[in-house]
Amino acid sequence: MIKGITLISAIASGAEFDRLSSLFSSLGFEQGKGWQDAQGRGEAYLAPIGNLEFVTGRPPAVPPVLVEVTQLDHIRSLVEKWLLASHRTEDIATILSPSELTHWNSRLFTVKLTPELTLGFWQSENPLHNQPNAIEGDLSAANMRFAIVTTRWNTVITDRLLQGSLDCLHRSGAARSDIEIVRVPGAWEVPSAARTLAESKKFDAIVTLGCLLRGETAHYEAIYNEVARGIGQSQQETGIPHAFGVLTCETLEQALDRAGLKAGNKGFEAASAAIEMVSIQRKLSAQNAQVKK
């Protein structure tokens, strides 16, 4: 079985070898096993993915060694800085090319490190390039049923979270008749209500909202730990997704920021997570059913 590909390039001098080693290390290459004997030495630099490509019909338009990166401009800056330390400024333009678009939907720059070694660094313009296939949830709430558990305590915060959740669900296609709102006294009561709603099997997901503000006693930690544990346990034991939108803040100002003023609306985010989890569960169930056939 094929295990890996190694491309070997000869470097003229030991001094040039040391300089290149320092560059490749600074660029973030993982260093492999090197060797040294009376006649020479070698260093290996590893990359997560290796490709061997053959061409015919026309000469390749790129250097024989291509390195794919995710931050092309940053890499070019590092290479330029490295070159400036050992080359005259006027020589840099002949050694280092600008980053340019290619005909294969990428950006590329080249650098002639030695007379024997020219590298090309490139980055795909497709954000999904080389990304692993994954099952992901959609953000359509059509034909889904949701329950929202919120609190009467700290309503100056929880009402904003509730509006954020409703905004997300309605924008995503959930019908008003498919959303049920349950108000409980405080955060302590949220897990119990969420568990009852989940066990009814009438809802595809539960959105839990609340707000805990730190006081001068340990009451805050005791309540938060039990609320988080209870919501998580309900989700695991019923199999119904529970979106966590219970704020735990030091001050009222922090809570207001997270309820729509500065740091987004956590109620909106919780509802979005609930929609996505329902979608993922349906896809996984359909996949399992297909496998069993």
**Active-site annotation, residues:** 219
Distance CA 53, CA 122 (A): 15
Q: Phi then psi for 154, rounded to 5 degrees?
A: 60, 45
Under 8 Å between Cβ of 239 and 280 = no
| Residue 54, token pair as written in the block | 């053959």
* Short-list 46, 68, 64, 47, CA closest to 55: 64
Q: Phi then psi for 249, rounded to 5 degrees?
A: -130, 155
Burial of 88 (0-12, 13-18, 19+ CB in 10 A): exposed
Under 8 Å between Cβ of 193 and 182 = yes
